[in-house]
Structure 1
Amino acid sequence: MKAILLGRTDRAVDTIPYAQLFPFFDNKKRLRHELNLHVQHIEARALDIFESVGRQANADIFFVRPCWREDPVQVETMVQELRHRQPSSQIIFIDPFDQTSSRFFGVLPYVDHFLKYQRLKDTSQYHQPLKGGTVLTDYLARKLGYDLKEWSVQSTIPEGHESRIKTGWFVTLHKPFQDVLFHQPRFWQRKENIKDIDVFCHVSYGPRNNLEWYGQHRILGIEKLKCLAPDYTLSVSGDFSGEQTISSRQYSRDIKRSRIAFSPFGWGEITGRDYEAVCNGCLLIKPSVDHIDTEPNIFIPGQTYVPVRWDFADLEEKCRYYLTHPDETAQIVYNAREAYRAYFTKHHFVRKIKSLVYPNTSVEPSTKSLVSASS
């Protein structure tokens, strides 16, 4: 079975598209041997390349991943034309938006699956009117009074097509994350295991002169963490764009030495920082993501991470509790690492693709059930 993977991988321009497509390259042999799926990648930096391939190439499956900057109407037209020319092929759309929402939902009638980094567990929520287009932005606007400044990522979902919105995989499957997650320190590297920082959090607030809603929310979280300063050792700061207060080297050094890593929301609820925390053996504390489905699933409350309220009212309390209960902390850290590692060792990406292209075949237990069984 032949598949064509359409998307850009130029890391000099943007590392995220490459990270999202990397699992196809990393699992190329296994996809071929286990699923008889031969994946050909075509570098598609603009929609005219997508259109050209749709006119000229034949394949059983098309994986389509456009740039988030593309015009939604043009993307819908492109996918509609691809469906017209390839009526018997599967079309699997890989959405580029960080949020649970998307500007590309208009393609839903023409695709077999629409994959999200992070998806609402209850897909009926996609039909609810939400300020800014997401549950997160709606909460911040309605409950905390944040001005979204016309910021919005949303589009109308054609009625009856929400079931095509599926959970894909987060952009933390590429080598840098794997290298840290599976790293085994040599005897001369034992200092790497020393945890002499209690709480870690370094974030960007965005532009100082045009503070966005996510920057306001992060400032609130940082202020709550600083209440711990009299009693604990912190590596905590926030800075504005172009005013970096900590180097990348210091960031990497400090997160390795930290017991707790607090990871606030960004443009979307789940961020790469969540997985960095787990890779480096930190207890992940972040605002609750019970409404989200994502893979690898390291977000099982009380088992693989510690959720806090979205207004951070309990953030200080949760930090203090787990800093004084090291055994509970160690168990959650262990569970999270095992859940993340299992995604690779149990080849869940290949099973994900199998579930999409061979929907009537059984797949292995999810990461969640594996963690629950080991806890």
Structure 2
Amino acid sequence: MTSARERLRRSVGGFVASAGAGFARPATRMLLLSDGREYTSEQQFAPIWRHRNRLRRDLGLAIDWGPLDGQDDAGWHGLSGYDLIGLKLSFRRSASEAMDIVRRVRETLGQGSATRLVYFDGDDDSAVLWPELVELTDLYVKKHLFTDPADYRRAFIGKSNLTDHAARVAGRSFADDIIPIGQPEPVLTPAKLYLGWNIALDDKIARLPTVAPTTPRSIDICGRVHVSPDSWLGDLRAPAIAALESLAGRWRVAVPRARVSQAAYDAELRAARICVSPFGYGELCWRDFEAIQAGCLLVKPDVGHIRTAPDLFEAGVTYAPVRWDYADLEGVCARYLSDEGARIAIVEEGQRRLRESLGPGWFVERMRVLLAALEKAADEIAKE
């Protein structure tokens, strides 16, 4: 009789079933289990799939994927055939629903199971939406983490530190938001929080060509920062818009409001010497990496409060930070618009780091360290 795991592999065209000759027997079998509801979150798995051959060859890691919704009892019981379960849920789920799912996975595996449970948090921000969930996992992987662990003991207005900032500086209410309170309880076991990899490794960025920063440029500063006035992102970006528009008399500045095609947007970046990239739902966004690949100097609010990998946010080395209120934007732009050599050096270092991180070697090493951290975390918890 065909096992649930084999049925799953065949139904999704799993890598293990189709790997063919030339690979050693896998030392570790990993199942990625996801509800597939948020594209940007699902992209956290993109480099795993992109480099799966190397992961199998170098780490003996064989990877399957399975849909979370619609699993029958046989599918749930098949989880125990894996060494490692990677779980991902949409932030739109209720806390109770998310906890029920994770508890069911834990109960299915059974007490004393050797199967490790890793939660992949694909949300854009640095906060932890469901701190209780951390306690049910062996490792909790984030795209970026607060530099100060004490921030994981804070309760935010809205979902994150950024919504909290919007509420405090602009009086924005999140009472009617789908998630009115974020991280309401402290993370009790911060040792389980693990820095994975950020959106620089998303498929969209991996496909971008690299444009030399030395190519002729007709725009000095671009900032495609306008959003709907109903969005709380407008509270974060209003100072950026005001600062950018005030520079138009001194330099060639583009602060467009109308939406354009992807091709037109790409051309705009390739024509700019500096790209101002404000915060979105999280500290980082695709525009950061699109700008670097297009040969722009990336200017964005200071992100020294987070740790992320690959680290393309070293002040004065790979990007130019500004204050969150953009009061120093003119001075920062003036410095680099008057020193083309300094601008080019920063862009080239950002491109070098990004190119390196998109290669299989960088990611395989990242996964090697993650697996080691998983075992270390399990050992530390066992000693408590």
TM-score (normalised: structure 1) = 0.83
| 1:19 paired residue number | 43
Matched, 1:174 2:234: no
CA distance in 2, matches of 1:29, 1:128: 41
Residues 152 and 187, structure 2, Cα contact 8 Å, conserved in 1: no
CA distance in 2, matches of 1:169, 1:360: 15
| 1:270 paired residue number | 284
CA distance in 1, matches of 2:270, 2:302: 24
Cα 1:157–1:51 shift into 2, 3 Å: farther
Cα 1:159–1:253 shift into 2, 3 Å: closer
Q: 1:125 aligns with which of 151, 156, 161?
A: 151
| 2:223 paired residue number | 201
CA distance in 1, matches of 2:149, 2:184: 13
Cα 1:248–1:125 shift into 2, 3 Å: same
Cα 1:336–1:266 shift into 2, 3 Å: same
Residues 283 and 332, structure 1, Cα contact 8 Å, conserved in 2: yes
Deviation at 1:116, TM superposition (A): 1.4
CA distance in 2, matches of 1:327, 1:283: 11
Q: Describe the SS at the equivalent of 1:20.
A: helix
Residues 113 and 356, structure 1, Cα contact 8 Å, conserved in 2: no
Q: 2:102 aligns with which of 66, 79, 102?
A: 79
Residues 134 and 187, structure 2, Cα contact 8 Å, conserved in 1: no
| 1:373 paired residue number | none
Deviation at 1:289, TM superposition (A): 0.3
Q: Describe the SS at the equivalent of 1:316.
A: helix
Q: 2:65 aligns with which of 41, 44, 55?
A: 41
Structure 2: stretches of 5+ with no match in the other structure: 1-27, 377-384
CA distance in 1, matches of 2:375, 2:189: 22
| 1:372 paired residue number | none
Deviation at 1:353, TM superposition (A): 1.7
CA distance in 1, matches of 2:152, 2:90: 22
Residues 134 and 189, structure 2, Cα contact 8 Å, conserved in 1: yes
Residues 101 and 153, structure 1, Cα contact 8 Å, conserved in 2: no
Q: Which deviates the most, 24-33 or 78-87?
A: 78-87
Q: Describe the SS at the equivalent of 2:43.
A: helix
Matched, 1:5 2:32: yes
Deviation at 1:8, TM superposition (A): 5.1
CA distance in 2, matches of 1:340, 1:6: 28
Cα 1:51–1:274 shift into 2, 3 Å: farther
> How many matched pairs?
342
Residues 279 and 285, structure 2, Cα contact 8 Å, conserved in 1: yes
Q: Describe the SS at the equivalent of 2:249.
A: coil
Residues 29 and 63, structure 2, Cα contact 8 Å, conserved in 1: yes
Cα 1:51–1:347 shift into 2, 3 Å: farther
Matches within 5 A, 1:83-232: 83-86=106-109, 87-142=113-168, 144-150=169-175, 151=177, 152=180, 154-157=182-185, 160-181=188-209, 183=210, 193-206=215-228, 208=229, 211-232=230-251
TM-score (normalised: structure 2) = 0.82
Cα 1:331–1:84 shift into 2, 3 Å: same
- Structure 2 residue identity aligned to 1:223: A
Q: Deviations over 1:143-169 (max 9, x none)?
A: x23313324451344653122111122
Q: Which deviates the most, 327-336 or 157-166?
A: 157-166
| 2:19 paired residue number | none
Residues 76 and 108, structure 2, Cα contact 8 Å, conserved in 1: yes
Q: Describe the SS at the equivalent of 1:73.
A: helix
Q: Which deviates the most, 115-124 or 128-137?
A: 128-137
Q: Deviations over 1:47-86 (max 9, x none)?
A: x539864333320000111222222212112212212332
| 1:54 paired residue number | 76
Q: Describe the SS at the equivalent of 1:93.
A: strand
Residues 199 and 258, structure 1, Cα contact 8 Å, conserved in 2: yes
| 1:31 paired residue number | 55
CA distance in 2, matches of 1:126, 1:327: 40
CA distance in 2, matches of 1:50, 1:122: 42
Cα 1:14–1:359 shift into 2, 3 Å: closer
The percent identity for this pair of structures is 25
CA distance in 2, matches of 1:232, 1:184: 22
- Structure 1 stretches of at least 4 aligned residues deviating more than 6 Å after TM superposition: none
Q: Which deviates the most, 347-356 or 194-203?
A: 347-356
CA distance in 2, matches of 1:37, 1:329: 41
Cα 1:54–1:172 shift into 2, 3 Å: farther
| 1:332 paired residue number | 346
- Structure 2 residue identity aligned to 1:97: D
Cα 1:89–1:306 shift into 2, 3 Å: same
Q: Describe the SS at the equivalent of 1:237.
A: coil
